[in-house]
Each structure stands twice: as C-alpha cells, then as structure tokens.
Chains A and B, each alone.
Chain A
Amino acid sequence: EAGVTQFPSHSVIEKGQTVTLRCDPISGHDNLYWYRRVMGKEIKFLLHFVKESKQDESGMPNNRFLAERTGGTYSTLKVQPAELEDSGVYFCASSPGGALNTEAFFGQGTRLTVV
C-alpha cells in the first residue's frame, strides 16, 4: 500500500513568487492534515480536512496560504506571494475517519526555501 506522498520534495523560490505543494494521502483516509516545521521550531498545525471539507484551519498563518482538497482525494497548499519566513518543511499527514483519533501517517515533507 502506498503511503502519503508529497511533491515536490524540495522547492527553492524567490520572494514574491507562488509555490504549490501537493499531498496525496493514503487511499481511503478521510482526514488530511498539513503541518509546517520552521527551522529550530516545533511542528505547527496548519489545517485539517475531513474529506473535502476544512474541519479546522486555525493554524493557517495568513491569507497568503490557500489549501484545497477537491473531491476529497489529494490536497494542494498554495503560498502566494511567498515570503522569507515561509521557509521550512511542510508535512502532510493522513488518517482514517472515525470518532477516535487515530495515528497519522506522514509524508516525507516538502522543504521550501524562499530566497
């Protein structure tokens, strides 16, 4: 069974440009999470999808970040325009649906560098 996959693995962009990160969760997982780890800091929650609906987007830093999950399958996270402080590793995780919180499986992450 394929795990959570993220694309690209690395991205280097200039300040002001746009970048779109993609996450393909494990097939059948209703829950999809985006997290970010800035160097030296903890992994921060960004948002949570249940199928195609945003369950919680309280961690999104500002309106330069837009996440979508059309059809409840893969998700994209767009940063537009990117700023220097957006640099970090963006992790996606997925878990099955259900009332009891179950373990989340992580993708390998996308390392974003804004120069």
Chain B
Amino acid sequence: KNEVEQSPQNLTAQEGEFITINCSYSVGISALHWLQQHPGGGIVSLFMLSSGKKKHGRLIATINIQEKHSSLHITASHPRDSAVYICAVRSEEYGNKLVFGAGTILRVKS
C-alpha cells in the first residue's frame, strides 16, 4: 500500500466541468503539497497546506487533518488544465522528505 493514495488515477472531463481529485495519507504530516506537471514538463507547485483551505484562481485545495485527506478542486475546467496532478506529503515519519502520490492524469476535452 502506498503511503499517499490518490484517486482517481485517470480523469476525463468536459470543458466547464467541476473537477475533484482526492488524496489520502496514513501518517501525521507537517505539510501537504499539490503539484501540477504538464506532459514532458517540469513541476509547478500549486499549493502547500497544513490546515484548512486555500484558493488560487479556479483552483481550491482543502485538507482535513483528522481524516488525513485532502482534495484539489478545479472550477470551470479548461483544456489547458490537462496535466498530471500530484499530491505529496511531508512527515517526520518519512525523515521530513516529500513522499509523492502516483498522480492523477487529467484530460479536459473542449
């Protein structure tokens, strides 16, 4: 079992749809990161969360520390949102290194 589980693995949406990607983890963490990677490209850090909720443009990230769960929401999705979205956690139990989920491949069709 991976320490960081993401769902779904693949997601296809129609332009304009509301999208949710989920991330669950199994240990106490100091921070959770949502990252975006376009095909063949580098990684862009979207959010770092340790509690509550953050919003940036059409992206919203939430975290529930008690339930060890985070969600990334994309409102009014657009084809340019097509990318791999990766959840990563940082925990003393992992030597304070980032532990990555397997990623969610998102495709938004026009």
Instruction: Specify whether A and B are partners.
Output: no
Binding site for A on B (CB under 8 A): none
Residues of A participating in the B interface, judged by any CB pair closer than 8 Å: none
